[in-house]
Amino acid sequence: MNNTIWLNVGEASADIYGALLIQELLSKDKRLNIIGMGGPAMREAGLNTIIKAEDLSVMGLTEVLSALPRILGFFKKIKTELERRRPKVLVLFDAPDFNFRLARMAKKLGIPVVYYIAPQVWAWRKSRIKFLKKFVDRILCIFPFEQSFFAQHGLQTVYVGHPLLQVMDLKKLNQIEPDPHKMVILPGSRVKEIKALLPVFADCCQILKQKKPDLTFSIVKAPHINQDLLNTFWPGNLSVNIYNPEDRHKIIANSCLALAASGTVTLECALLKVPTIVAYKLSWLSYLVGRLLVDVPFISMPNLILNQKIFPEYIQDQANPDKIAAKAFAWLENDTQRQEIRNKLTKIQQLLGQNQATQLAARTVMEYVK
């Protein structure tokens, strides 16, 4: 009997969601053979790994071009394995630039495709909707506004809510009091992000330390990021504590302010009600292409969910130490303003579902297996 399921994760932030799904699927049927592309959490949960997700740590147009030979090698290997193993269903997580090609492969082989953590076509590159209609059988929506958007365009959807709620023990974490002297730095999960943003954040912290000597700084590193890389871009004369990813929620919750790369971590900060300054930098070519394609007013998910700029956003040349430090200092000096932000962020949790995302996703996936 063919009981194979292929999961494909290309982003570090989705690795834990894939791991949760694997655990839930195996709890339903221990005979399942779950294979594909994933990170360390998925491997630990039971993924039979074809390719490691961390080997696809690229970002932006020019960065992808330099990694193209390696990526083409991945596609060739995946195609061979799909043809040989013929999984019952292919489950894709985010990473549309990579996963769309897999969806096309699966369609040719008659393998159903489920998209979990769907591409944000409501934000940019709406032309991709045609692709999704042709090559994807079901979309599992993690944001409520996604379901109505995809349904309007004739796609089959299931609203499952956000799996992040199952990763975070919010009842316990929300009891942690923020320390007014602690700041947390979240420079991203990709090497390119860290190289672009950590020097900016470090210079910003240097400025703040001169104004407020009692400030302390913490960095939370992404799962596959080497600590030596972080040390390379952090000044030796500025003290910093570096924490492992499994400690990140406690460290964030205990901080009064965060500096963060745009990404899933901004949503984590919002759920922990931590005022956060968001920054992002790309190569100029990637940025110019993005400017033409992006069709949303904000880059951070908390701002999009609440439809207002709760978290300040500094993009490209705006992401400079002086501007970020000025905003951070203003917040650090104003307890009332920080509390107002925390109050506004309480709505986020209510809007992200009923804490059953993994169970609902597994139920949908198992429909194809049976």
Amino acid, single-letter form, for residue 213: P
pLDDT < 50: residue spans in the chain = 61, 284, 287
pLDDT of residue 290: 57
Residue with tokens 């919010």: 170
pLDDT of residue 54: 83
Are 97 and 64 within 8 A, CB to CB?
yes
Distance CA 224, CA 227 (A): 9
pLDDT of residue 294: 58
Structural domains of the chain, ranges and CATH numbers in brackets:
4-162+353-369 (3.40.50.2000), 170-350 (3.40.50.2000)
Closest of 290, 287, 340, 345 to residue 317, by C-alpha: 287
DSSP assigned state of 175: T
pLDDT of residue 350: 82
pLDDT of residue 353: 74
pLDDT of residue 147: 86
Residue 301 CB partners (closer than 8 Å, separation 6+): 264, 266, 267, 270
Helix (H) or strand (E) holding 113: strand 113-116
3-state helix, strand, coil in the chain (%, to 5): 50, 20, 30
0.85 surpassed by pTM: no
